Amino acid sequence: MTSRPLRIGVVAGEHSGDILGAKVVCKLRERHPDLEIYGIGGASMISEGVESIFPMDRLTVMGIIEPLVRLPELLSIRAKLFKYFQKRVPDVFLGIDSPDFNLALEGKLKKTGIPVAHIVSPSVWAWRPGRVKKVNRCIDRLFCLLPFEPDYYSSCETKAEFVGHPLADELANLKLRENVRSHLGLHQKELVVAVLPGSRMSEVRILADIFFKTLQIIKSTHSTLQFLVPAVDGQIFDYLSQQLKAYPSLRVRLLNGQSKEAMLASNCVLLASGTATLEAALMLRPMVVAYKMTAFSWAILSRMASTKFVSLPNILVNKSVVPEFLQKNATPELLANALTKILDNGNNFQTDIFLDLKNQLGRDFSVRCANAIEKMFLVEKR
């Protein structure tokens, strides 16, 4: 029995992983108040007592070009982290998403005898299915957020289990639309569209103008529409404020954060493909999804894709429930037409399926992850 506190090394590479990590860290700290947790995390994990050795935003990259440009820095951070974990050896290492960064680090740590767990399966069902083998080499235990994912690892030594999706737990007791509208100062009977052009500046720069042109088209037939546009941070808020100056006639309310409130208050949602599509589904909000990237990135990634859908609701049910408009099809005209159909006719087909998804995904995520870490690593190490 060791006299020192239990230690967990951890790396989250972006905002969504930071939130997931914070939920698990909070649950573990309830049971082990003196737990030492260190590595890389963002504001949410730091608020739960995680020591972040490097700023998390240095790992936040996307696309094809940016990771290549930043590669020397990323490799340097990974090497320094490995050395740090060799000096201050954790009882378990927990990687959270960011597989391109984490898997190589996890593989090296696993070879030194450190047990490795990982939250969020790489999207092997969407592209690069060969990563299943790499996951098996690098990870001891994998916590999957989607119910079909463990099947991809059935032939591997890595133990993969479905722990539920934290969003389903978080959104289990939704506020009523009426309450959220009152809080935001909106009229109860007006039609409201939530507009989410992305959580990264690179996404927002491409999609914001397309989305605002879409709203301009819809306004010609729905003049009283109220649009809510949440910005995930101050930089994006400032950028969207500047962009909106070109659309003075739109009834747009730009929000600091509050993406969930915006979707809850809405009748339907226009958004970039990403985790927010699952949030909207769990809130039972009909939606239209768009995505666009640079032509070079699209040319490469589209050839690597092994799924015909990009939005999580469609992937989960394996059929086209949510309209998706990608790349050259992500035009204001097509998006406006799809949104208008929802506004005019409603979309019970979407919301009925979303209700089934909500029931499938709720599994008490943080408790399941904490139990597994304790049982397989922490308790046994002691």
If we measure between CA atoms, which residue out of 78, 69, 92 comes closest to residue 13?
A: 78
For 323, phi and psi rounded to 5 degrees?
-65, 130
Q: How many other β-carbons are positioned within 10 Å of the β-carbon of residue 181?
A: 21
Give the side-chain half-sphere CA count within 13 A for 222. 21
- Note the pLDDT of residue 69: 63
For 380, phi and psi rounded to 5 degrees?
-65, -35
Q: Are 161 and 144 in contact (CB under 8 A)?
A: yes
- Note the pLDDT of residue 65: 55
Please tell me whether residue 92 adopts helix, strand or coil conformation.
strand
- Note the pLDDT of residue 115: 94
- Note the pLDDT of residue 1: 43
Alpha-carbon gap, residue 320 to 126, rounded angstroms: 15
Fold of 177-361: Rossmann fold (3.40.50)
Alpha-carbon gap, residue 254 to 244, rounded angstroms: 9
- Note the pLDDT of residue 124: 86
Token representation of residue 360: 């499938």
Q: Are 310 and 287 in contact (CB under 8 A)?
A: no
- Note the pLDDT of residue 15: 83
Alpha-carbon gap, residue 221 to 99, rounded angstroms: 45
Alpha-carbon gap, residue 213 to 219, rounded angstroms: 10
What is the distance, to the nearest Å, from the Cα of residue 281 to the centroid of all Cα atoms in its chain?
Answer: 14
Rounded to 5, what percent of the chain is helix, strand, coil? Answer: 50, 15, 35
Q: Are 76 and 51 in contact (CB under 8 A)?
A: no
If we measure between CA atoms, which residue out of 168, 170, 189, 167 comes closest to residue 178?
A: 189
If we measure between CA atoms, which residue out of 12, 70, 85, 74 comes closest to residue 43?
A: 12
Whole-prediction pTM value? 0.78
For 182, phi and psi rounded to 5 degrees?
-60, -45
Please tell me whether residue 141 adopts helix, strand or coil conformation.
strand
Residue whose entry in the numeric block shows the structure tokens 């709203």: 215
Same topology, domains 7-164+363-381 and 177-361? Answer is yes
Q: Would you list the domain boundaries of the chain? A: 7-164+363-381, 177-361
Q: Are 310 and 123 in contact (CB under 8 A)?
A: no
Please give the chain's pLDDT, 382 residues, in tens. Answer: 457 889 999 999 888 899 999 999 999 999 999 999 999 999 999 999 999 999 898 876 655 555 666 678 889 999 999 999 999 999 999 999 999 899 999 999 999 999 999 999 998 877 778 889 999 999 999 999 999 999 999 988 889 999 999 988 888 777 788 899 999 999 998 999 999 999 889 899 999 999 999 999 999 999 899 999 999 889 999 999 999 999 999 999 999 999 999 999 999 999 999 889 999 999 999 999 999 877 666 555 666 566 788 899 999 998 999 999 998 999 999 999 999 999 998 777 899 999 999 888 988 999 999 999 998 765 544 4
Q: Are 117 and 94 in contact (CB under 8 A)?
A: yes
Alpha-carbon gap, residue 267 to 177, rounded angstroms: 9
What is the distance, to the nearest Å, from the Cα of residue 78 to the centroid of all Cα atoms in its chain?
Answer: 22
For 154, phi and psi rounded to 5 degrees?
-65, -25
Residue whose entry in the numeric block shows the structure tokens 């050839």: 303
The CATH class that applies to domain 7-164+363-381 reads alpha beta
